[in-house]
């Protein structure tokens, strides 16, 4: 599908060198926004940085105690800057904040969420978007960045506002978001955690029901942590399935699940067997990572957000063994109309039984060797792993009859954000003309293998 890159004139020349958003299909995909002043490119950290711009939007007397505090002040100013930047991008595309259907919010400290929310309400007076909030220990190469976010907005010429179905929740997982938003065939569901009716984490399978209890009793070597994870993922699946049924869909129509877990290499293999119970014939694509905090409560082990579709629109895609098969119960990729969602691609050498690329012997094929730089050893395999991520995406894209130009959005998950230049060097080898919109997401652990340090999750839009 023809991808229209949105290079905002509102931003400085440095920011304009990369796409801030891309129009494809029925949506505008806005990449991860950091709290930088759009004209100067400087990081916003204090109230003086936004006073002029915030006139008529924020009443500073209302926020006097908030801005005067050491930590919430920077969070509030950075939240304002990000949301104001997103609003400008939308306006340049003849859209408004009402067109936003999905947001992902990354924050370094959940204690600052109240400050975030107070500013958020000035841009979203009522819940309009599905939201996921994830706690991350650091948010970029600058440690003073305390919050970032990206979003998806419905193009008004393709999906009029009156056609967007927003599903509120009496017990929302995110207090300022919708439980789900349906925009034509796609359904965006907010991040859900395994909570009971009072919002407390479920820790035992018997709290969820007899079927969950029978399941855990069949598992060998069950620990309290294992049971809590199983109970929570069971609860999450029941919540999301019930929500989708309210919209006229079902769990079998989930396209992709994103897992945010505290210890992904441990939790992933507890999560996906439960999926086999809920989605035996039609598993979704899946991407999962370790994060420092789940919903601000240490007893929550996992949070899940999904993108689903309406009945009859989901197609599962799997590929040859040269791209590695799913290790357990999930699908390599799913398709709904022109939209293809891939499970996160990792630095896996498909020529060596799917082992992580971690040693100098795991060299790039000849056409990638000329961009290899620096010392590649067991402690620094990021360039090689990034190369294999993008090479896997290239092969998959070709197999579905598309090109890399059809990749509209990528999430780049990194164990160490200082490695980003090496990831970008690998990316630049594959994307020659137009880069996809990107969100850079620091993580504490990749899926399955402790040796993995980078993973890339793309969204592809194909067709006419």
pLDDT tens-digit map of 223-237: 898 899 999 999 999
* Tens of pLDDT, residues 41-89: 888 988 888 888 888 888 777 666 666 665 566 888 999 999 999 999 9
CA distance 192 to 183: 20
Q: Give the model's pLDDT for residue 90.
A: 94
Residue 207: is its pLDDT beyond 90? Answer: yes
CA distance 310 to 384: 39
* Tens of pLDDT, residues 13-49: 444 456 889 999 999 999 999 898 888 888 898 888 8
The SS3 call for residue 201 is: strand
Per-residue confidence at 278, pLDDT binned at 50, 70, 90? very high
Q: Give the model's pLDDT for residue 137.
A: 77
- Percent pLDDT > 90 in the chain is 40
Q: Give the model's pLDDT for residue 327.
A: 61
pTM (predicted TM-score): 0.90
Domains plus CATH for the chain? 1-179 (3.30.1330.40), 185-343 (3.30.1330.40), 344-464 (3.30.1330.40)
Residue 370: is its pLDDT beyond 50? Answer: no
CB of 86 within 8 A of CB of 103?
Answer: no
Question: What burial class does residue 40 get, using C-beta atoms within 10 Å of its C-beta: 0-12 exposed, 13-18 middle, 19+ buried?
Answer: exposed
Q: Give the model's pLDDT for residue 351.
A: 57
Mean pLDDT of 140-155: 89
CA distance 371 to 368: 6
Q: Give the model's pLDDT for residue 432.
A: 77
Q: Which residue has the tokens 């894209």?
A: 397
Residue 367: is its pLDDT beyond 50? Answer: no
* Tens of pLDDT, residues 317-343: 877 656 666 666 788 899 999 999 998
Pair of tokens at residue 155: 């193009």
Mean pLDDT of the chain: 83
Residues 6 or more apart whose CB falls under 8 angstroms from that of 325 comprise: 318, 332
CB of 426 within 8 A of CB of 407?
Answer: no
Pair of tokens at residue 438: 């990107």
Mean pLDDT lowest for which of 298-307, 372-381, 411-420, 427-436? 372-381
CB of 169 within 8 A of CB of 192?
Answer: no
Helices first, then strands: H and E counts in the chain: 10, 21
Residue 212: is its pLDDT beyond 80? Answer: yes
DSSP per residue, 414-444: ES-GGGHHHHHHHHHHH-SS-PPEEEEEE-S
């Amino acid at each position: 599908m023809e991808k229209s890159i949105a290079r905002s004139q509102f931003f400085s020349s440095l920011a304009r060198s990369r796409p801030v958003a891309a129009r494809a299909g029925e949506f505008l995909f806005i990449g991860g926004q950091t709290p930088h002043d759009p004209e100067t490119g400087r990081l916003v950290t204090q109230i003086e940085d936004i006073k002029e711009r915030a006139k008529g939007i924020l009443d500073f007397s209302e926020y006097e105690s908030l801005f005067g505090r050491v930590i919430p002040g920077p969070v509030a100013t950075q939240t304002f800057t990000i949301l104001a930047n997103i609003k400008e991008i939308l306006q340049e595309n003849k859209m408004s904040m009402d067109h936003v259907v999905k947001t992902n919010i990354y924050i370094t400290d959940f204690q600052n969420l109240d400050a975030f929310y107070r500013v958020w309400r000035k841009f979203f007076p009522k819940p309009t978007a599905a939201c996921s909030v994830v706690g991350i220990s650091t948010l970029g190469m600058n440690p003073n960045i305390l919050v970032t976010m990206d979003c998806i907005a419905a193009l008004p010429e393709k999906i009029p506002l009156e056609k967007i179905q927003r599903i509120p929740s009496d017990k929302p997982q995110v207090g300022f978001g919708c439980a789900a938003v349906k925009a034509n065939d796609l359904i965006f569901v907010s991040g859900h955690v395994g909570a009971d009716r009072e919002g407390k984490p479920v820790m035992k399978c018997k709290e969820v029901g007899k079927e969950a209890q029978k399941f855990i009793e069949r598992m060998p070597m069950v620990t309290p942590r294992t049971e809590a994870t199983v109970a929570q993922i069971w609860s999450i699946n029941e919540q999301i399935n019930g929500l989708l049924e309210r919209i006229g869909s079902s769990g079998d129509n989930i396209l992709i699940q994103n897992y945010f877990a505290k210890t992904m290499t441990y939790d992933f293999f507890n999560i996906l067997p439960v999926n086999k119970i809920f989605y035996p014939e039609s598993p979704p694509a899946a991407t999962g990572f370790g994060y420092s905090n789940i919903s601000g409560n240490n007893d929550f082990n996992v949070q899940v957000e999904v993108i689903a579709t309406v009945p009859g629109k989901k197609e599962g895609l799997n590929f040859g063994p040269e791209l590695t098969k799913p290790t357990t119960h999930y699908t390599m990729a799913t398709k709904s109309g022109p939209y293809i969602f891939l499970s996160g691609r990792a630095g896996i050498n498909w020529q060596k039984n799917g082992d992580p690329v971690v040693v100098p012997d795991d060299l790039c094929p000849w056409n990638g060797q000329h961009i290899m730089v620096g010392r590649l050893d067991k402690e620094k395999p990021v360039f090689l792993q990034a190369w294999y991520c993008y090479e896997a995406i290239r092969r998959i894209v070709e197999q579905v009859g598309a090109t890399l130009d059809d990749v509209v959005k990528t999430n780049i998950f990194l164990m160490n954000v200082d490695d980003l230049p090496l990831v970008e060097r690998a990316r630049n080898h594959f994307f020659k003309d137009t880069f996809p919109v990107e969100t850079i997401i620091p993580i504490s652990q990749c899926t399955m293998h402790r040796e993995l340090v980078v993973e890339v999750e793309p969204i592809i839009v194909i067709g006419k």
